[in-house]
């Protein structure tokens, strides 16, 4: 038979609790009365009670002193024992059952209880005072340190910036890696008058490399906040956090760690992301960090476009596919769709446009009920984040096919903000040719610039216009750079390091978090989306020899991935290599006028290169390292009108090809002599521009 607990009423006695003033006095008096009654009845010697009371007084005095309680408490406890022992001795002698004995015991109990209560209050007040005293001592020490810092930095700002500020507060960072100065500016001075002297302030303060004194706006325009980092957190590798707790696009997604130890959080519900990172800066690793944050989000579906064999999204898909290429039932891919080819990328962007336009109509009632003009994003109606690796280069490309792809990217970016479809674009450099599109700068407000110490083609003023005091040499480490959002001024940060095994762990751990495309949007997406995991469309993921960057079906002669210098590819079969080379030259001759072959036999007519022709003769020397030379020419071509130098190319090729600067200098000089490249500038400012990017040779459609 089931029983139910009935609630008890009235006070509940806690037998584990200690004695208070009332229970303590009651316990002492009843104990003394019981002992006196027993002693009188049994003829116990009265001196025994007095000896027991003296022993209790001595014991409690010792324990009280060990507890470091006040003298008032010591006196109370000792006197309570002695008075109780004295009454007991008298009661045994004269009899405890007389009215005088009982009355005196009652008075003694009331006195003990009253004194114990006042002593308890005194001890509480004394304890609070000791705590307050310790706090005041710590505050005094901190205050003295802060006053010293305040005086030091007031003098430093006056000396370096010529402005006398008033320091109102100094806040130490919880990580212990620096502090923030809150200062009042004099007169009409502004914070950027200090910000532009960030390098001078850092040098004057003798800050370690990687540490800065960055000034930003304060609570109002007459205040300035100066973040001073004293510990270099950028040099060491920081692993991606092992806590894969759920995130939300509405609550912000962390992309790394700022110099003060806080997470660098971005809010992408309405904003797009823009990531700049040259070769060797850690951009690929950072893209995986971005994808990890999206994989942990309960209201984000991630689509990836990477025309470089899909390398950005592939590690997030393969752990969830079986050997035949079908998604496993127990594990879902970390990204929802990967496009590694021009055709698949066009399908993805067209699908995004259909979804966005359909949502504008289908969810009108929902937006009306929520009283908002933004689609309420949730796990049921997820936001779609399209990560486009080197997407800024696609937008800046002059290739016909790439321009069509760029138009789709811009259309998605321009039209679908309210409907929860945003993009994250990456770029290899911060140059005018790459960041010249107004749409990129206007929509990509969450900006990251990974420098890796690279100087050429890294104009921070183009990434963070108006920001003062940012210098590339402040972040010379791989994975380090600057991050700026509408919510936080641009500042130093460090990207987390994420490795392939951890990516597989994240895919498995976050699989239950991934939302599914809402039914209404899935209907609008159609078969292109529903069949994205068909084995025929994912065959490239299982065949490393399959070229995924195929020619677009538009009939254009240009490949979307740029030049395919197949004549220089290594092959075990020399005959096949020669055939590929001949076929390649025939295709080039059909599109461009080429330069004459070097060392042509006597009497053989040479073909003169036209003004806008493509000269590949520089790559036809069989004695050179053709793979490295091809990569160098590709970098020269990708540099655009800004051009590049020998040092930058050598650094980019060092890891893969082991090419040194002297070798690259020889190639550049040879290309300058035969017209492939144009040399601009002299000395340390020398750079080379591919001839078709020079003003006299505008690119052809």
> Does a structural domain hold residue 302?
yes
- Of the listed ranges 103-107, 196-200, 294-298, 397-401, the one predicted with least confidence: 103-107
Q: Are 40 and 91 in contact (CB under 8 A)?
A: yes
| Residue where one domain finishes, among candidates 86, 114, 133 | 133
Q: Within a 10 A sphere around the Cβ of 147, how many other Cβ atoms?
A: 12
The boundaries of the domain holding residue 124 are 21-133
Q: φ and ψ at 178, to 5 degrees?
A: 165, -165
- Cα separation of 600 and 620, whole Å? 12
Residues 124 and 213 in one domain: no
DSSP conformation letters of 652-687: HHHHHH---HHHHHHHHHHHHHHTSEEEES-GGG-E
Is the torsion defined by CA of 323, 328, 332, 335 positive or negative?
positive
- Cα separation of 299 and 517, whole Å? 10
pLDDT tens by residue, 137-166: 656 665 777 888 888 999 999 999 999 999
Binned at pLDDT 50, 70 and 90, residue 548 comes out as very low
181: which residues sit within 8 A by CB, 6+ positions away? 149, 150, 153, 167, 169, 170, 225, 226, 228
pLDDT tens by residue, 457-516: 778 888 888 777 788 878 888 899 899 998 888 888 999 999 999 999 999 999 999 999
Residues 300 and 387 in one domain: yes
Residues 116 and 174 in one domain: no
CATH code for position 507? 3.40.50.300
Residues 97 and 198 in one domain: no
H/E element holding 184? strand 178-184
Token pair of 614, please?
């493509």
Q: At what angle do helices 71-94 and 99-161 cross, to 10 degrees?
A: 170
Per DSSP, what are the bridge partners of residue 248? 252
Chain-centroid distance of CA 350 in Å reads: 31
Residues 532 and 613 in one domain: no
Residues 298 and 404 in one domain: yes
Q: Within a 10 A sphere around the Cβ of 202, how many other Cβ atoms?
A: 22
Closest CA to 165 of 228, 212, 203, 215: 215
Domain tally, the chain: 4
pLDDT tens by residue, 50-98: 777 777 777 767 777 777 677 777 776 677 776 777 777 777 777 777 7
Q: What percent of the chain has pLDDT over 90?
A: 33
- Cα separation of 163 and 156, whole Å? 9
Residues 571 and 654 in one domain: yes
> Does a structural domain hold residue 382?
yes
> Does a structural domain hold residue 1?
no
> Does a structural domain hold residue 109?
yes
Average pLDDT, integer, range 506-535: 93
Q: Are 328 and 321 in contact (CB under 8 A)?
A: yes
Closest CA to 435 of 486, 392, 389: 392
Q: Are 109 and 57 in contact (CB under 8 A)?
A: no
| Residue where one domain finishes, among candidates 186, 210, 229 | 229
Residues 497 and 625 in one domain: no
> Does a structural domain hold residue 558?
no
Whether pLDDT at 200 is above 60: yes
Residues 219 and 350 in one domain: no
> Does a structural domain hold residue 556?
no
């Amino acid at each position: 038979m089931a029983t139910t607990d009935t609630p008890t009423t009235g006070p509940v006695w806690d037998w584990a609790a200690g004695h208070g003033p009332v229970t303590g006095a009651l316990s002492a008096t009843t104990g003394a009365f019981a002992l006196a009654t027993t002693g009188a009845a049994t003829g116990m010697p009265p001196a025994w009670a007095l000896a027991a009371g003296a022993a209790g007084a001595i014991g409690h005095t010792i324990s009280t002193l060990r507890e470091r309680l006040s003298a008032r408490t010591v006196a109370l406890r000792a006197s309570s024992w002695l008075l109780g022992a004295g009454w007991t001795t008298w009661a045994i002698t004269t009899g405890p059952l007389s009215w005088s004995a009982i009355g005196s015991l009652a008075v003694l109990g009331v006195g003990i209880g009253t004194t114990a209560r006042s002593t308890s209050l005194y001890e509480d007040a004394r304890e609070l005072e000791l705590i307050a005293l310790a706090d005041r001592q710590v505050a005094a020490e901190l205050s003295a340190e802060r006053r010293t810092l305040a005086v030091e930095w007031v003098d430093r700002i006056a000396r370096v910036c010529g402005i006398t500020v008033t320091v109102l507060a100094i806040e130490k960072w919880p990580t212990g890696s620096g502090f923030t100065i809150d200062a009042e500016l004099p007169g009409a001075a502004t914070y950027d008058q200090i910000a532009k002297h960030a390098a001078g302030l850092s040098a004057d303060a003798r800050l370690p490399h990687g540490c800065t004194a960055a000034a930003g706006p304060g609570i109002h325009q007459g205040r300035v906040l100066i973040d001073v980092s004293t510990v270099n957190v950028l040099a060491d590798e920081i692993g991606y956090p092992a806590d894969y707790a759920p995130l939300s696009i509405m609550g912000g997604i962390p992309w790394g760690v700022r110099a003060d130890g806080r997470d660098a959080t971005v809010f992408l519900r309405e904003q797009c992301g823009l990531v700049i990172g040259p070769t060797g800066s850690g951009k690929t690793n950072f893209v995986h960090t971005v994808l990890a944050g999206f994989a942990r989000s309960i209201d984000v579906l991630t689509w990836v476009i990477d025309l470089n064999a899909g390398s950005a999204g592939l590690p997030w898909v393969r752990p969830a596919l079986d050997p035949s290429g079908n998604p496993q039932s127990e594990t879902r891919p970390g990204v929802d769709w990967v496009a590694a080819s021009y055709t698949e990328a066009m399908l993805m962007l067209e699908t995004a446009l259909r979804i966005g336009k359909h949502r504008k109509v289908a969810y009108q009632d929902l937006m009306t009920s929520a009283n908002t003009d933004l689609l309420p994003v949730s796990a049921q109606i997820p936001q779609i984040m399209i990560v486009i690796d080197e997407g800024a280069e696609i937008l800046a490309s002059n290739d016909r096919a790439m321009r069509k792809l760029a138009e789709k990217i811009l259309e998605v970016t321009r039209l679908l903000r309210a409907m929860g479809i945003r993009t994250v674009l990456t770029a290899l450099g911060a140059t005018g040719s790459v960041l010249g599109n107004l749409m990129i700068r206007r929509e990509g407000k969450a900006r990251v610039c990974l420098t890796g110490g690279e100087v050429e083609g890294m104009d921070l003023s183009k990434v963070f216009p108006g920001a003062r005091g940012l210098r590339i040499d402040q972040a010379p480490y791989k994975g380090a750079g600057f991050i700026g959002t509408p919510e936080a001024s641009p500042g130093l940060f460090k990207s987390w390091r994420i490795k392939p095994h951890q990516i597989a762990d994240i895919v498995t751990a976050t699989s239950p978090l991934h939302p599914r495309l809402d039914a209404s949007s899935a209907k609008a997406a159609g078969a292109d989306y529903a069949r994205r995991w068909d084995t025929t469309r994912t065959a490239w993921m299982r065949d490393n020899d399959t070229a995924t960057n195929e020619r677009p079906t538009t009939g254009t002669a240009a490949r979307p991935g740029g030049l395919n210098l197949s004549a220089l590819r290594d092959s075990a079969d020399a005959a096949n290599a020669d055939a590929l080379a001949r076929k390649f030259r025939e295709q080039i001759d059909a599109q461009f006028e080429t330069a004459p072959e070097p060392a042509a036999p006597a009497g053989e007519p040479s073909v003169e290169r036209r003004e806008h022709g493509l000269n590949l003769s520089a790559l036809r020397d069989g004695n050179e390292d053709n793979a490295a030379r091809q990569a160098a020419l590709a970098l020269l071509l990708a540099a655009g009108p800004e051009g590049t130098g020998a040092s930058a190319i050598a650094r980019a090729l060092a890891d893969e090809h082991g090419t040194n600067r002297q070798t690259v200098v020889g190639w550049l000089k040879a290309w300058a002599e035969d017209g492939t490249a144009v040399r601009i500038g002299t000395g340390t400012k020398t750079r080379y521009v591919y001839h078709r990017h020079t003003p006299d040779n505008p690119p052809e459609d």
